Amino acid sequence: MSNDKPALDPHPLSEYVAWAGNRNREPLLGVLKDKFPTDEGQVLELASGSGMHVNYFAPHFEHLHFHPTDRDQDVFDNIKQLSVEQGNDNIADPVHLDLTDPETWLNVKGEPHSFASIFCINIFQVAPVSIADGMMECASKLLTKEGFLLIYGPFKIEGTFSTKSNQAFHNTLASAGVDEWGLKDVADLNTAAQKQGLELKEKIDMPSNNFSLIFAKI
């Protein structure tokens, strides 16, 4: 794949999303190696998209079983194809999970409070901040007592942009004319988390002015 940045396109199977995923997967893997449990456990990915991340991470954690999910069922074949091609037998078949529809939250195999970790990558810049309410409620129902939710992406901090490049990215997103495209504020995510008995435990600086936000039960 070319290192040239493709035109902005949030579709999960686009060249842009693949380019962004190839840039962030190694730094994210480093965080997960530090944070994931060392014992056997279940891990859930929200908004799995093409499946590029779950299929890249899974071989590094053979003791964990991964559950990809997405609201868009059209991406499921791509997720399963990658799993087969890469021989990843610790990835379950993807299931439909819509953060705005609580009835879908238990579509994943396993009982409530059975997931050691949940992660979600690069969703909030092209999703309404209101989905944070569903994400936090879903996480509070599915995480173990010691579990955590990791959200990765670019964010504003207390109403300000951490860098000029993040502000430029926000302006590019906003110029597309799509409602609520743009960087969201970490404070708003934490407010949603606290309503569900979660709180921001750690904010990890990542390359390209992104963050890994770690939420866990209060």
Domain membership of residue 35 (yes or no) is no
Residues 47 and 69: their CA atoms lie apart, in Å, by 6
Domain membership of residue 2 (yes or no) is no
Domain membership of residue 59 (yes or no) is no
Domain membership of residue 14 (yes or no) is no
At which residue do the structure tokens 């300000």 appear?
160
- pLDDT at residue number 11: 67
- Model confidence, pTM: 0.92
pLDDT of 162-201, one tens digit each? 999 999 989 988 888 888 899 999 999 999 999 999 999 9
Residues 37 and 147: their CA atoms lie apart, in Å, by 9
Nearest to 207 by CA among 25, 16, 14, 11: 25
CA dist 75 → 43, 78, 96, 145 (Å): 19, 5, 10, 31
pLDDT higher than 90, residue 50: yes
What are φ and ψ of residue 2, in 5° steps? -65, 150
Q: What is the CATH number of the domain that holds 70?
A: 3.40.50.150
Write b or e for each residue in 159-174: b if 16 or more Cβ atoms lie within 10 A of its Cβ, otherwise e.
eebbeeebeebbeebe
Nearest to 66 by CA among 138, 118, 13, 20: 118
What is the pLDDT confidence band of residue 16, given thresholds at 50, 70 and 90?
Answer: low
**Domain encompassing residue 73:** 43-54+64-217
**How many structural domains is the chain composed of?**
1
pLDDT higher than 50, residue 1: no
pLDDT higher than 80, residue 22: no
Domain membership of residue 165 (yes or no) is yes
- pLDDT at residue number 106: 86
> What is the C-alpha end-to-end distance of the chain, expressed in Å?
43
pLDDT higher than 90, residue 107: no
pLDDT higher than 80, residue 3: no
Domain membership of residue 132 (yes or no) is yes
- pLDDT at residue number 44: 97
- pLDDT at residue number 76: 97
Domain membership of residue 106 (yes or no) is yes
What is the pLDDT confidence band of residue 110, given thresholds at 50, 70 and 90?
Answer: low
Q: Residues 11, 18: contact at Cβ < 8 Å?
A: no
Q: What is the mean pLDDT of residues 4-18?
A: 69
Domain membership of residue 197 (yes or no) is yes
